[in-house]
């Protein structure tokens, strides 16, 4: 079923001999490596497609999104089979993620049909107004044009070829060019086959969607710099995200770069909750920390608790839970290597003590637990950096004042969590205004892994959690990234792109 080729505007092209995937299990496959010439072809086709797709009706785009969902569903077994081989993720995880991917396509179809996202505003003409008449003014949110999407390694379906960025951009009316992630090229190709089939079935311009297989930076760099690309959606590391953000900003005509770069997602365990149910919170934390081998951007990497006997109970319970957990296969050798480096970095942090955990072989990771005092954590910035994998740090704060100091000191986060009981309300009231400035999502008595795809979700946050704190990459609000407001003054109503 795999060709190893790129899909460029409805054609499968490229010679599939230049790059072999490095799967976790099963056979390796050959894939083509994209070049800037492929980027030019895909982006020019996308620009041509925008002439019609940008003016397509919402019903036409909803039909395309629903058909994509159906075509992905129809290829479910093939996707799971290659997905497990490539990523090492279990069947159930890939089936669940497929459900989410299909669900978000259908959610966007429903959402654009309602039309609220257009934020239509109309100030009717006041021809008799003195001293000056008012013209007729319509404001409509309009699609930007071709969008580049970078597939993420850790969500081979929901944040990749047909993931949230692609769904939001297509829903808005923007053609999409995807840079495939080299960690799951086969999964990406089968999903691309589904989108290709949907495009052919619905009669949409084929330039609306392309995927370029790629390993290395040439394709990504060319996409971010291409003058016809109007925005970029990205999920991945701070290093790569920052490099691409800088490229987008340095263009002659800068474009928005929507990078979701992850965070350490601090969890504050307030005193009464710690006394009442510290061991239960520790058990929940251990589960959230290790799900998917900890390869989630919402992984709650640090737990802040007041030093003392409750902290002892919490720490011992976390250690006991994590000690019973086996090592897991990481997504790529590179990510496993980065995890080992992260463990070493934390181990070298000021005052950090490793409580449990061992290093593993090339593609596996075992949970690791560290403890550090609030003073040392505040003194050493290395302890604030994300470790992508199942690593937790217990930060033992002196008192609630130091908890507030820690809240003030943290960088931008996707999430911050409070574990609190009724008697903790005053402590929570003091922390919330601090944390609200740091994170896109605030939780009470829960765990941040498991991001709901819905209207209210915000999956973003101040830098470095994301490069654009006004945006979310999950949920229906994410469509706003690919729209811009246009005011139509005295344009005859039948010429407007959307009618009231
Ligand atoms: P990555 O290194 O950030 O790469 C993501 C994508 O960007 C890949 O397609 C990569 O291409 C491309 N890329 C990397 N550097 C680039 C550059 N300078 N210019 C243009 N394109 C560039 O992420 P990854 O491979 O998925 O994982 C590596 C690390 O990223 C992990 O260890 C983890 O720390 C972090 N990560 C974080 C999240 C999160 O949600 N926060 C998710 C995934 C990964 P090639 O791979 O083809 O070179």
Please indicate, yes or no, if residue 461 is contained in any of the structural domains: no
Same-domain check for residues 304 and 434: yes
- Rounded to whole angstroms, the Cα distance separating 295 from 336 reads 10
Exactly one of 71, 86, 97, 260 is catalytic; which is it? Answer: 260
Catalytic (active site) residue 385: no
Same domain, 214 and 320: no
- Domain check: are 170 and 294 in the same one? no
Strand order from edge to edge, sheet including 257-260:
11-13, 6-8, 209-212, 176-179, 147-150, 231-235, 257-260
Query: If the chain, 500 residues long, is cut into consecutive pieces of 10 residues, what is the mean pLDDT of each piece?
Result: 95 90 93 97 98 97 98 98 96 97 98 96 98 98 98 96 98 98 97 98 98 95 98 97 98 98 96 98 98 96 98 98 93 94 95 89 91 98 94 98 98 98 98 98 97 97 95 98 98 87
For residues 373 and 283, state if they share a domain: yes
Residue 173 gets the label, from left (phi > 0), alpha (psi -120 to 50) or beta, of left
- Supply the residue whose CA is at minimum distance from atom 4 of ligand 1: 236
* Residue 385 forms part of a structural domain: yes
- How far does residue 389's CA lie from ligand 1's centre (Å)? 14
Is 257 within the bounds of a domain?
yes
137 and 175 belong to one structural domain: yes
CA-nearest of 170, 177, 173, 116 to 151 is 177
Active-site residue (options: 297, 319, 368, 416):
297
One domain, residues 167 and 289: no
Count structural domains, the chain: 2
Residues 281, 210 share a domain: no
The residue whose CA has the least distance to atom 44 of ligand 1 is 236
Same domain for 121 and 27?
Answer: yes
Within-domain flag for 1: no
Catalytic status, residue 260:
yes
**Residue 203 falls inside a structural domain:** yes
Segment 209-264, tens digit of pLDDT: 999 999 899 999 999 999 999 999 999 999 999 999 999 999 999 999 999 998 99
Query: Ligand 1: residues whose CB is within 6 Å?
Result: 150, 152-154, 179, 181-182, 214-217, 220-221, 235-237, 240, 243-244, 261-262, 297, 335, 338, 388
* Residue 451 maps to a domain: no
Distance 295 CA to ligand 1 centre (A): 13
Decide if 314 contacts 275 (C-beta within 8 A). no
pTM: 0.97
CATH assignment of the domain containing 235: 3.40.605.10
Q: Give the structural domain span for 275.
A: 267-444
Q: How far is the CA of 240 from the centre of ligand 1 (A)?
A: 6
Residue nearest to atom 16 of ligand 1 (CA): 240
Q: What is the CATH number of the domain that holds 434?
A: 3.40.309.10
- Residue with CA at minimum distance from ligand 1 atom 38: 236
Q: Is residue 369 in a domain?
A: yes
Q: Is residue 410 in some structural domain?
A: yes
């Amino acid at each position: 079923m795999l060709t190893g080729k790129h899909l460029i505007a409805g054609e499968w092209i490229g010679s599939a001999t230049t790059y072999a995937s490095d799967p976790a299990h099963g056979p390796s496959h050959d894939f083509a490596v994209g070049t800037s010439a492929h980027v030019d072809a895909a982006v020019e086709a996308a620009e041509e497609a925008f002439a019609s797709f940008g003016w397509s009706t919402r019903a036409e785009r909803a039909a395309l999104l629903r058909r994509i969902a159906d075509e992905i569903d129809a290829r479910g077994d093939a996707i799971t089979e290659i997905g497990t081989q490539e990523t090492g993720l279990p069947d159930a995880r890939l089936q669940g993620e497929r459900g989410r991917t299909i669900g978000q396509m259908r959610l966007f179809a429903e959402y654009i049909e309602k039309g609220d996202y257009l934020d239509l505003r109309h100030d009717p003409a006041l021809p008799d107004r003195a001293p000056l008449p008012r013209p007729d003014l319509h404001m409509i949110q309009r699609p930007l044009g071709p969008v580049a999407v970078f597939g993420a390694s850790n969500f081979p379906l929901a944040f990749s070829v047909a993931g949230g960025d692609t769904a939001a951009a297509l829903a808005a009316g923007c053609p999409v060019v995807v840079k495939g992630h080299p960690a799951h090229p086969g999964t990406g190709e089968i999903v691309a086959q589904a989108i290709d089939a949907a495009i052919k079935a619905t009669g949409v311009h084929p330039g609306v969607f392309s995927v370029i297989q790629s390993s290395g930076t040439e394709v990504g760099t060319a996409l971010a710099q291409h003058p016809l690309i109007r925005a970029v959606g990205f999920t991945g590391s701070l290093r790569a995200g920052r490099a691409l953000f800088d490229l987008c900003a340095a263009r002659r005509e800068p474009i928005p770069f929507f990078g979701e770069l992850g965070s350490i997602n601090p969890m504050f365990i307030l005193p009464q909750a710690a006394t009442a149910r510290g061991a239960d919170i520790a058990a929940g934390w251990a589960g959230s920390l290790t799900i998917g081998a900890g390869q989630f951007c919402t992984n709650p990497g640090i737990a802040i608790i007041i030093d003392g006997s409750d902290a002892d109970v919490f720490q011992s319970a976390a250690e006991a839970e994590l000690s019973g957990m086996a090592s897991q296969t990481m997504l790529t050798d590179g990510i496993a290597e980065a995890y080992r480096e992260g463990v070493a970095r934390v181990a070298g942090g000021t005052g950090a003590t490793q409580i449990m955990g061992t290093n593993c072989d090339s593609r596996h990771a075992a949970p690791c637990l560290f403890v550090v005092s609030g003073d040392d954590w505040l003194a050493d910035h290395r302890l604030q950096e994300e470790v992508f994998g199942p690593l937790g740090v217990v930060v033992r704060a002196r008192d609630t004042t130091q908890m507030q100091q820690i809240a003030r000191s943290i960088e931008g986060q996707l999430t911050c969590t409070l574990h609190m009981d009724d008697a903790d309300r005053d402590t929570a009231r003091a922390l919330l205004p601090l944390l609200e400035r740091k994170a896109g999502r605030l939780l009470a008595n829960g765990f941040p892994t498991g991001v709901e795809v819905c209207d209210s979700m915000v999956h973003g946050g101040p830098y470095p959690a994301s490069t654009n704190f006004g945006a979310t990459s999950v949920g229906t609000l994410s469509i706003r990234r690919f729209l811009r407001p246009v005011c139509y003054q005295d344009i005859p109503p039948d010429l407007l792109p959307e009618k009231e």
